[in-house]
Structure 1
Amino acid sequence: MNTPLKILISGQHGQVSRELQQRLGDLGELVVLGREQLDLGDPEQIRQQVRAIAPHLIINAAAHTAVDQAESEPDLAFAINARAPGIFAQEAFERGVPLIHYSTDYVFDGSKSAPYVEDDEPNPLSVYGQSKLAGERAIEQVQGQHLILRTSWVYSSHGKNFLLTMQRLLQERPELRVVADQIGAPTWAGSIAHSTRALIQRWRSGNPGAWGTYHLTAQGETSWFGFAQAIGEQLRAQGLPCAALEAIPASAYPTPAPRPLNSRLDCSRLTQEWGVTQPDWHSALRECLAEQA
């Protein structure tokens, strides 16, 4: 299957979408639909767009990702994160094409002592997590060719994320308090896009792995405090000012939406089935920062 692909990407300015646009362009034609072109709250508009574009592959990189805001606007969160993915799945199934969709560690409650595997029972703590889980189930019910990729702690050189917030605050303040008892894997959006490309190429080879739900995060683990320390070390290496960091428990930093204390995801199934492995979070962070320079 060497003919150029037509890939529909929903979401235009999000972290993962922007990295996908940089890394998939040579695979064929990318049709990128942002909010201006597609209202994900309008099911009929989604159907019409997919049918007009007639893609060979759909990648849903759009989501309502404002975790705390979702608590006060659940209808919007569910429209974008739950109903829209189900419609994309239906349209993909009817066209006989695959759907790639991104989900989250927030489908779990974080009470497990070990990294979560794909078969663990979800129990989301927040509206955001509940809406993302509903999106997964809507896709699964269609039973078409799909990859649901759960990731965590996504950051990049653009948008709103922990890396950019820390780079700013560490230089603005003398001291900074950061949560130290939430554990996970900071995952660069560039790595997610690179892995997505590898999955597409494996599918195009005619020998894909099994379709379904997989975990896709950087290797290794740390806390938000540890992530902030790593960011601070890079600032100091550049001779820039850097705040003193203080570790605090999540209970000292209450938010409208509760976060899981354990966000670690076991990604071995994706390696076994598709031959795709993410880099260690330290090396991915260095690569991201090198692109910033």
Structure 2
Amino acid sequence: MRTVLVTGGTGYLGQFLVRALDAAAYRVRGPPCIGAGRSENVHRRPQHPALLQVVATHHTTRPAAEKTRVEWHWVDLTSGDGLADCFSALGPELVAVVNCAAASAPAFCEQNADHAAALNVPHQLLKSLAGLAATPLLIHISTDQVYAGTGTPAAGWSEDCKPQPVNVYGATKLEAERAVQASWPKHVILRPSIIVGPPPPFPLHRPLFLQFVLSALSQQKPTTFFTDEWRCPVSVHDIVAACLRLIAEADKPRAHRLYNMGGPHRLSRAEMAEAAAAVGGWSTAAVLRQPAASVTRAAPSPQDIAMDSSLCAADLGVHATPLESVLRAVCAAAQPDP
């Protein structure tokens, strides 16, 4: 049976990707999807046979028990522990691997540089892949923080711009890109900006920017938002759509293997908060507009890493969702039923 592996399946993006694959597993037509697992916790859906097997990994967070056919494996990607057992479950037809696992908090990475490098640079995963007879597509999730944030082109950073990260997080993610490019020719690297969307199906152990903003505004809690730090917030569902498209076309020859994935608008953090206030119907009195230099931070942060993501739209057919649309969907879902 054809198989897909998702590493970091209990992270924010990983949870939505695993769910989307699971939902697609039983479609007659559509992108690849989750198939039969083998663990004792597997719940089968009798109405349709699975099209693919999907295996997902977790580490610090255990996956919640759901009626899915996802097969979960505990793996430590810093040491490689658990990878052998995980790969033994993949079967001979591994179609794609989506590497969502990462230490993504810049402050944590700055204070734990060795651990961040061991996790973010997927040496152990690449070593395991090298031992396979198959050659699956490797989709590696990177970040916009590989860009310097100064001297930003008028159209935003493009894939042709020279990366020059300013913090440990960005440096480890850039090193990861280079390791993937050097070791696994059949790859695609996605560089998302701040990922926004609904709360994840299961809670995370780290704060999410959009949920932090909505919580502060709904409580009218005065909170500092920077006026001079710009990003292109991207919908989690857009990234999932790109991954599904890539998995469905895993064997398609590609002229490009690196894509920016930012939203359609360049926004400061203060503008993001004000947009949330407008959609949620809250006062902007709680939005304290300040420059980034007014706050001491645990890690350097690039100032302007707004990206040009037109190549992704052209090649993958994923047209970025505006932040306002994401906010409307999130706020509508949070409203109690009448």
TM-score (norm 1): 0.88
Name the structure 1 match of 2:10.
Answer: 13
Secondary structure of 2:166's counterpart equals coil
Task: Identify the range of structure 1 (90-99 vs 143-152) with the bigger mean alpha-carbon deviation.
Answer: 90-99
Taking the TM superposition and a 5 Å limit, the aligned residue runs for 1:22-37 are: 22-25=19-22, 26=25, 27=33, 28-35=52-59, 37=74
The 2-side partners of 1:142 and 1:191 are apart by 27
The 2-side partners of 1:14 and 1:261 are apart by 26
Does residue 193 of structure 1 match 2:240?
A: yes
Q: Check 1:241–1:270 CA distance in 2 against 1; reply closer, same or farther (3 A cut).
A: closer
Counting matched residue pairs gives 283
Name the structure 1 match of 2:108.
Answer: 69
Taking the TM superposition and a 5 Å limit, the aligned residue runs for 1:250-269 are: 250-269=292-311
Q: Check 1:149–1:139 CA distance in 2 against 1; reply closer, same or farther (3 A cut).
A: same
Structure 1 residues 16-49: Cα deviation after superposition (integer angstroms, max 9, x where no partner): 0111022112222221110060111113543552
Structure 1 residue 242 displacement after superposition: 6.4
Structure 1 residues 198-254: Cα deviation after superposition (integer angstroms, max 9, x where no partner): 222233xx5453352111121112110011111112322xxx676432211010122
The 2-side partners of 1:291 and 1:198 are apart by 26
C-alpha contact (below 8 Å) 2:75/2:81 kept by paired residues: no
Secondary structure of 1:53's counterpart equals coil
Q: Which has the higher contact order (CA 8 A, sep 6+)?
A: 1
Taking only aligned residues, the RMSD between alpha carbons, in angstroms, comes to: 2.2
Q: Check 1:211–1:24 CA distance in 2 against 1; reply closer, same or farther (3 A cut).
A: farther
Name the structure 2 match of 1:40.
Answer: 77
Q: Check 1:285–1:209 CA distance in 2 against 1; reply closer, same or farther (3 A cut).
A: farther
C-alpha contact (below 8 Å) 2:96/2:137 kept by paired residues: yes
The 1-side partners of 2:314 and 2:137 are apart by 20
1:281 is aligned, of 317, 323, 332, to 323
Identity %: 26
Amino acid at match of 2:326: A
C-alpha contact (below 8 Å) 1:179/1:225 kept by paired residues: yes
Taking the TM superposition and a 5 Å limit, the aligned residue runs for 1:144-159 are: 144-156=185-197, 157-158=199-200, 159=204
Task: Identify the range of structure 1 (279-288 vs 6-15) with the bigger mean alpha-carbon deviation.
Answer: 279-288
TM-score (norm 2): 0.77
